[in-house]
Structure 1
Amino acid sequence: MNTLLTSVSVADEEGYPILDASTRDLVGYAPKRTTADLEVLIKTATTAQPGWAVLGHAERSRLMNLVADEIDKHAVELGEIITAEQGKTGGQGEAHGAAMWLRSAANTILDTQVLADDGTTRSELHYAPLGVVASIGPWNFPVMITVWHIAPALRMGNTVVVKPSENTPLSVLALLGIFQRFLPDGVVNGISGDREVGAALAAHPGIAKIVFTGSTPTGRRIVESSANNLARLTLELGGNDAGIVLPGTDIESIADKLFWGAFMNSGQVCAALKRVYVHESLYEETVAALAERAKNAPMGSGHDKSNRLGPVQNPSQFDIVSRLVDDARDSGARIAAGGEPAPELGPLFYRATIVADIEDGAALVDEEQFGPVLPVIKYSDVDDAVRRANGNDQGLGASVWGPDVEEALRIAERMEAGTVWINQHGGVDPSIPFGGTKASGYGLEFGVEGLKAMAATKVIRR
């Protein structure tokens, strides 16, 4: 029996059903809460915040490390819920990753900064808690990204109210239950519910900061909702990440990294490689190498650890993936691998798909597919490839692939993205700041910059 699951699942009449992404079997019932419940939680968090702040960094860090240890102890149970709800083949790995990120936030040092000291006067920059921080999370990495949101907030003395995605609430509620075992009452609060609850949370005058990971359209609505209370925002929005493969690249040496940069978590990663521009001299070789990997990557239920690719998480996203591939095919693009559902595996499985002979202007190139599909676009001039890569309104991540690192660095400096990887794509580190540009959002997460984003600055002069 999964005790974490039973601790958060409610009776059917009290909640709404959550289905296994692979099998569509019932996982459990998530509590269906209302805006009235939200009011209670925000008041609770507001009351708890001063006591949590006064504990100080050392004590807060100690308690957060205890939580991280407990997450690791329950990683198998928590991973089972993640895999069931989300469909991924690495649920347990996500749980361990969440523990690692929590420790990083707990142990990162943020010192008071001395701005000036001439022996007569001294000015210092201090970082104070904001108050109550709202976390509105996505369904692709429900547990990991919740920790990304709340760990720095807690470390800096804020309390939190977490609204998970309607698609993956049980794993997040189970995670928050672990936090609540060690932290004072009211410091960590979770509420599952519909979009009305999320909108009310974003607009609530008691919220000092909102952290959101999700689509650009929803991010825009959050900006609008937060205008009246002037809540601070960190928004990590859509990312139609581009990669450029330079002439002279040894394709076989990069093909695995190129493929998994696009297909990790079946492409359901904000900073996954979503479109790749390949020089004409390497084009057919690249398409063939990616197609071979797409055809051979083990796909199936995430509960079977031998699989590498799981389903698309929900029917709405499955329809988007299907529409974009069908549009590309109908417009004359070449389907080098996949290009269709895999119903024998389950209703939400879509075969790993490589699309060739496609150009900018096609919906599959211009829109973020967020699924197991990669368009490969041919170019002849590197400057033109950079222009086309930058032509999209999103700018979360990008990558440059080539044998000459110095040349790749020069091109990376021209890419309009929050992070540019060289000969890799999508890797993140808890100590290295991460955030987007343009319509991919603003604000930084992780490391010292992530802690600063959860604090109010205060200058003290004496």
Structure 2
Amino acid sequence: MTSTIPAKPGRPATLGGVAGAPPASRAATLLERVTGGKDSAPVEMTAPFTGQPIATLPQATDADARAAFRAARRAQRAWAARPVAERARVLLALHDLLLEQQEEALDLVQIEAGKARLDAFDEVAATALVSAYYGKRGRKLLAPRRAPGVFPLLTKAGEVRHPKGVVGIVSPWNYPLALTAMDVLPALLAGNAVVQKPDNQTALSALWLHELAERAGLPTDTWQIVLGRGSRIGDALVEESDYVCFTGSTPTGKDLAARIARRLTGFSLELGGKNPMIVLPDADVARAAAGAVTACFSSAGQLCVSVERIYVHEDIRERFTREFVRRTEALRLGGALDYSAGMGSLTTAEQLAAVSAHVDDARAGGATVLTGGRARPDLGPLFYEPTILTGVTERAKLYADETFGPVVSIYGYTDVDDAVERANDTPYGLNASVWSGDERGGWEVATRLKAGTVNVNEGYAATFGTVGVPMGGMKESGVGRRNAAEGLLKYTEAQAIAVQRGLRLRPVRGLPPALWVKGMTASLKALRRVPGR
């Protein structure tokens, strides 16, 4: 497995010891956008590539978080009063600014999350796609909708959408730019204000997008960012939000859902996954192996929709495995702020420990490591080689539990029904991948998989990048969806309005109820035959 040196000649090391990073003064400027910070114990974050400090982050108290909600609520009224078209223009302006200034965003994402630069660009692209989709289609999606009234011509009915109010958003560390955009931007477009708690590790990326949004025309205070420990500000986020959007682990999501349910407010959750890939016997082996490298090792496997289980038909298993291992061993590991590395590092020491423990446990249980299986401290404190395993048994922790790292297990099968059953044999249902030489056959298998998104001849990017289709999890992988119409309308309250003309919907004075019921019955039978009702 080749490697690169985590530095780039000709670019000065300025932040976190990483070449090409923005100066420490830039980090300080971004941190000025944080709301609150009276907690007496600030947090120092370090760069995954080097272990050197990035910035010291102020932490909010419960009072700080509640003050942020009060400010957001005041700002929300004026923001919601603006026409949808005006709010949409902010998103389109943000789109343009983002693409013009993406180099700084790429540096920040690499420095904070430890990604390879191409993986960091995935975040820029996803943010641009979300901005453009809702900026162009939001007005139509939020427009009042006419509906057939109970009696044609006599009942005028429709549906209007109102913003929830203030949306609380808890964002993870693994996709700090993309997941901020995918949750925050539709909430804003719907007329809400937002109070966001990004993870401390990748807070600067969220703050950078916040700065860009205000430059694009978003009013001050409409989007608040608080940094803090869940134990200190979690109650405020639950109690003050009119809707909560959370991305994180399944156990935390379950606990959060129970707390929110007591308030009878809405929520959406994207949680864990143990995502399968099925390689059908007619698949193009080279193409499937190349796709598996991306599906398993992008962002060092720290991606909610990353593939961790591969089921390959026995007719092609040996060829696929050989090609997959060859391509994986050709990946270049490194932390340079350029496109020289194919995979970066893990993001936190906790994640490195979890990945190492999973692989060591599987190996102790008899699994074979075909490639990888070890940390690379020679490259940086959190690097771990992309790892392929076979012979993993049900006793191994990684057999059913999410690893969330660059580790994948290969299993053989002879019957497609068996492969589908094994792919579905999990409490999770976030993403899946099917590879076939027959698109119709691949689509048919995809419909049988219990996952919120399924990609045919792709790992995850086809559904991830198609903002016009919903994205989310089945079973214990979550509740609700982001993207598409649902990803916007979930941030609204639907209101039905009907105007009745002429005919009353109760018997007029002097008309016996039995006779009125008889006439209504005849009317209902007639309406049954009217097309479109």
TM-score normalized with structure 2 length: 0.83
Distance 1:359 1:147 in 2: 39
Instruction: Provide structure 2 residue ranges, at least 5 long, that are not aligned to the other structure.
Output: 1-21, 500-533
Q: How many residues align?
A: 461
**2:296 counterpart of 1:259:** no
Which shifted more, 333-342 or 170-179?
Answer: 170-179
The letter of the residue matching 2:129 is M
Question: What RMSD, in angstroms, separates the aligned Cα atoms of the two structures?
Answer: 1.9
Secondary structure in structure 2 of the residue aligned to 1:135: strand
Give 1:383 deviation, angstroms.
1.4
TM alignment of 1:311-460, pairs within 5 A = 311-427=345-461, 428=464, 429-460=466-497
Distance 1:105 1:94 in 2: 17
Within the candidate set 64, 85, 92, 2:112 is matched to 85
Distance 1:4 1:234 in 2: 34
**2:254 counterpart of 1:217:** no
Distance 1:194 1:454 in 2: 25
Asked if structure 2 preserves the Cα contact closer than 8 Å seen for 1:359 and 1:377, the reply is no
1:5 aligned residue: 27
Instruction: Provide structure 1 residue ranges, at least 5 long, that are not aligned to the other structure.
Output: none
Distance 1:403 1:96 in 2: 28
Asked if structure 1 preserves the Cα contact closer than 8 Å seen for 2:61 and 2:233, the reply is no
Give 1:175 deviation, angstroms.
1.8
**2:234 counterpart of 1:199:** yes
**2:129 counterpart of 1:94:** no
Q: Deviations over 1:145-194 (max 9, x none)?
A: 01111111011100000000122112212221222342222211000111
Which shifted more, 305-314 or 281-290?
Answer: 281-290
Which shifted more, 154-163 or 78-87?
Answer: 78-87
Within the candidate set 205, 209, 224, 1:189 is matched to 224
2:134 aligned residue: 105
Assess, with a 3 A threshold, how the Cα gap between structure 1 residues 65 and 38 changes in structure 2: closer, same or farther. Answer: same
Secondary structure in structure 1 of the residue aligned to 2:486: helix
Distance 2:368 2:170 in 1: 38
Name the larger-Rg structure: 2
Give 1:92 deviation, angstroms.
4.8
Secondary structure in structure 1 of the residue aligned to 2:244: strand
Secondary structure in structure 1 of the residue aligned to 2:214: helix
Distance 1:114 1:360 in 2: 54
Asked if structure 2 preserves the Cα contact closer than 8 Å seen for 1:202 and 1:222, the reply is no
Assess, with a 3 A threshold, how the Cα gap between structure 1 residues 361 and 388 changes in structure 2: closer, same or farther. Answer: farther
Q: Deviations over 1:275-325 (max 9, x none)?
A: 111112222222211111221101110524200101111011111111111
Give 1:359 deviation, angstroms.
3.8
**2:73 counterpart of 1:43:** no
Distance 1:459 1:244 in 2: 45
Asked if structure 2 preserves the Cα contact closer than 8 Å seen for 1:202 and 1:226, the reply is no
Asked if structure 1 preserves the Cα contact closer than 8 Å seen for 2:65 and 2:233, the reply is no
Secondary structure in structure 2 of the residue aligned to 1:335: strand
Assess, with a 3 A threshold, how the Cα gap between structure 1 residues 15 and 79 changes in structure 2: closer, same or farther. Answer: farther
Asked if structure 2 preserves the Cα contact closer than 8 Å seen for 1:203 and 1:228, the reply is no
**2:82 counterpart of 1:60:** no
Give 1:93 deviation, angstroms.
4.9
Distance 1:96 1:386 in 2: 32
Distance 2:60 2:233 in 1: 11
Distance 2:447 2:244 in 1: 30
1:29 aligned residue: 56
Distance 1:302 1:268 in 2: 19
Asked if structure 2 preserves the Cα contact closer than 8 Å seen for 1:95 and 1:143, the reply is yes
Give 1:96 deviation, angstroms.
4.7
